Every structure is written in C-alpha cells, then in structure tokens.
Amino acid sequence: MTLAVATDTVGAGERHFQLLALSVRIATDCPILDRKLEYLVQDARQDYPMTDEIRLEALRHADGYRICEAGGEPRIEADSSMALGRLHIRAYERAYEILPSTGLFLHAACGSYNGRRFLLLGDSGAGKTTLITQLLSLGALAEGDELALLEGDGLSALPRRFHIKSLGIGHFPWLRSQLHRLPCHDNGDGTSIYAFAPSDWGFPWHIRNAGVDAVLLLDPNHGGQSRIQEIPHHQMIQHAIAHLRPLDRGERSWIPALCRHFDRAFCGRLVLGSLDSAASLLISKLGDLPATG
Amino acid sequence: MTEYPRHVEGVEINQVADGYVVYHAARDRVHYLNQTATIVLELCNGKNDAAKIASLLQTAYELPDLPLEEVSGCLGQLRAEGLIA
C-alpha cells in the first residue's frame, strides 16, 4: 500500500506530516499544545514511500492531557510539555516499527552540494548540526542533522527539525536575529534547543532516498586548523559500525548494503577547526568528486 | 594447524575498494582487512602454503625480498580470528 504524500496543517488543531513511511496526524483541542507541536512537526519533502498512518489525539483533561491512539489505551500526561514528549515518542516509535528490519540508522547529518550528496558521521557534539547548517547558508541542500536511514539501495535522512543548541546559535547571525521564529525546548539547565526547519527560512528541504558520493567522519579540533584526510573504505565502515543503530539487533544482514553504499563514496576524516574553513574545505572537496546524481 | 590454510565456512566476505569487510556469523564478529590481508585471505584456498603465498605476493608487488615473515604474521592473525583453518 502506498499513501499519497501530503504535508500540511489540516483544520484547526490537527497537524499532518510524514515520518519516512508513516503518515502522522496529531489533533489537539489545546492552543498551547498546538503551538508546542511546532517543535515536532516538519514539512520536509520526502522520497520515502508512505505505507502506513497513525492518528494521535491529545485532548484537555481534568488531570492534564489525555493521549489517545486508535486501538490503544489512553494515557494521561500532566502538562503540555509531557504531552508533547509522549506524542513525539509515539510517532517516532511507530515510524521505526514499520521500517524493514534490514535497515539501520547511521549517526550522521546528510546533505548535498552541486549534485554531490554527502554524509557527516559523528558523535553527539562533533559538530554535525552546526556544519550542516553552515553549509546550508553557503548554498548546500541540507536534508538532516542527526540520523540517516540506510535501507536497501537508498539512504534517507531522518525527517526532523535540526536541533541547534543555544550555545551554538551564535554561529548563525541570520538565525540569532529571529529567534522568536524558532520553536524552542528549555533543557531546564539554562540551555535550550532550537528546532530549525530549512523551509521556514526559504531553503528547499527535500529528503531524498538515494546513494551518497562522500562520507566524512567529523573529528572536532576546536580552535585548530581544518583539514580533510582520505581514509580507506574498510576503516570508514569500521567507524560507521561503531556508531550505528540497526533496526534488528539480532542480525547483521545490513553489512553488505553498508559496504555497497560506502564503496561508491569518497571516505575521509574531516578535522573540524573553524566552521568557515571546514565548510569551505568540504565544498571544495565535493567539487572535485564526480557527480553521480 | 594445517600447512595449507583455507578460509572457514560461514564467513561472509564483502569487498570494498581497498579491502574486505568480513562478517563471521558463528562468532558474530566483523573484521576489517586492508588490501594485503585481503590478498592473503584470498590465497588461503587450501592449495597454497605460507611460502607459496609469500612468493605470489613477492611477484605481484615486485618485492625485492620474500615477505615470508609478514605472511606468517598475517596468517597467524587470520587464524587467531578464526577466519582460516
């Protein structure tokens, strides 16, 4: 079954968006929660075919919010933040459930420049979100900032707003001047996370399901120089396997697909010094590669 | 230890441009082999001993000396990882 693609706001209090193969609808009768849903909802155009749907309701209740799903037991959440968290978890949980078990998630940002598609592999804090957002402002197409699904012959960024930490927002004056437009999550420790959607700033946001031309392992070198050093494919696969999340932990049937994808790509370590120099180096390197489309 | 090593059954070999990624299901282990180790593993077909493998490598890479010590070391590692018998 393939569902028609549509991403929009349906009537008052109902949000509709795509999460890979899943069509998600979330309805609420609460304007406060509806506004908070901006943090979760995105309008990325996605190539991944939708095959299933979920509809969640979050209705005001004497004790908070009543979260309902067809065929499931209602759950009560005490406030709008907890309700948002529950809706977030359930939507992504369901999206993962319907993906083929042979797939896997790579901890990587994804984008393309002049027809060359790239992955930026790295741990949390390595600079994936910062670099992909910087590249966006330099003319790249940014698809995702955190996870990429490798399944069959295609690789798709996980559709999610980019999570820019408040400590890193200073890198982007064009965002800093309009923070009021960014949905925000308060971490409760004086920091927060801004949920950025390229489309909100007029950038195209198209998540393709295709191969990659370059895989870069991010190696932070704060305050130092940036450089790109080519590394053997088998070493890059070793790094990737150390940082991936298979959908079925009982099998390793995804190894051949991972090897096929990486074998077609340039593999390198991107030592990330200053943001400007790293972005320039990457753009230059991508320009040297043959475009595979 | 056999004189003519061969790679074991149940090993899934995935070739990439500059090496092998080998999955050994029985041990649930993944191995990453560079080009030299890849060639040594390929030559472990039950017909070549260490001296023959070294000789073939010497010819292939036009090496001045017979790399017997290196081949023996590589075979030892492959054997220790359970990839050859």
ipTM of the complex: 0.76
CB contact under 8 A, B30 and A252: yes
Q: Smallest Cβ distance to B18: which of A234, A241, A252?
A: A234
**What is the Cα A129 distance to its own chain's centre?**
9
Task: Tell me the C-alpha distance between A249 and A19, whole Å.
Answer: 22
Compute the nearest-CA separation of B24 from chain A (Å).
Answer: 10
Give the best residue of A104, A234, A262 to mutate against chain B (max B CB count within 10 A): A234
Closest residue of chain B to A261, computed from CA coordinates: B16
Q: What is the pLDDT of residue B9?
A: 86
What mean pLDDT do residues B34-48 have?
A: 91
Compute the nearest-CA separation of A212 from chain B (Å).
Answer: 15
B12 to chain A: which residues are within 8 Å by CB?
Answer: 255-256
Averaged in consecutive runs of 10 residues, what is the pLDDT profile of chain A (293 residues)?
Answer: 43 84 96 94 95 95 92 90 95 94 93 96 92 95 96 92 94 90 90 95 95 95 90 94 81 87 95 93 93 60
A234 to chain B: which residues are within 8 Å by CB?
Answer: 16, 18-21, 32-34
Q: What is the pLDDT of residue B70?
A: 93
Task: Tell me the C-alpha distance between A176 and A203, whole Å.
Answer: 17
Whether the Cβ atoms of residue B14 and residue A256 lie closer than 8 Å to each other: yes
- Identify the three-state secondary structure at position A143: strand
What mean pLDDT do residues B42-66 have?
A: 93
CB contact under 8 A, B19 and A234: yes
Task: Tell me the C-alpha distance between A172 and A170, whole Å.
Answer: 5
Mean pLDDT in chain A?
Answer: 90
Residue A201 DSSP symbol? G
Closest residue of chain A to B22, computed from CA coordinates: A255
Whether the Cβ atoms of residue B4 and residue B49 lie closer than 8 Å to each other: yes
Q: Where are the beta strands (DSSP E) in chain A?
A: 8-9, 14-19, 22-28, 45-46, 52-61, 64-69, 75-77, 104-113, 116-121, 141-144, 147-151, 154-157, 162-165, 184-186, 192-196, 206-207, 214-220, 227-230, 244-246, 266-272
Beta partners for residue A60, in sequence order? A65
In degrees and rounded to multiples of 5, residue A38 shows phi and psi of -55, -30
Share of chain B above pLDDT 90, in %: 60
pTM summary value:
0.87
The answer for B 4-63 residues in CB contact with A (under 8 A) is 12, 14-21, 23, 25, 28, 30, 32-34
B18 to chain A: which residues are within 8 Å by CB?
Answer: 232-234
Q: What is the pLDDT of residue A76?
A: 95
Q: Smallest Cβ distance to A259: which of B16, B25, B33?
A: B16
Per-position b or e across A35-64, b if 16+ CB within 10 A of its CB: ebbbbbbbbbebebebeebbebbbbeeeeb
Q: By a Cβ cutoff of 8 Å, what residues of chain A touch chain B?
A: 232-235, 237-238, 241, 252, 255-256, 258-259, 262-263
Compute the nearest-CA separation of B3 from chain A (Å).
Answer: 29
Reported as a single tens digit per residue, the pLDDT across B1-22 is 458 999 888 888 898 988 999 9
Q: What is the pLDDT of residue B65?
A: 94
CB contact under 8 A, A237 and B34: no
Whether the Cβ atoms of residue B4 and residue B76 lie closer than 8 Å to each other: no
Compute the nearest-CA separation of A155 from chain B (Å).
Answer: 18
CB contact under 8 A, B17 and A263: yes
Closest residue of chain B to A263, computed from CA coordinates: B16
Q: What is the pLDDT of residue A153?
A: 83
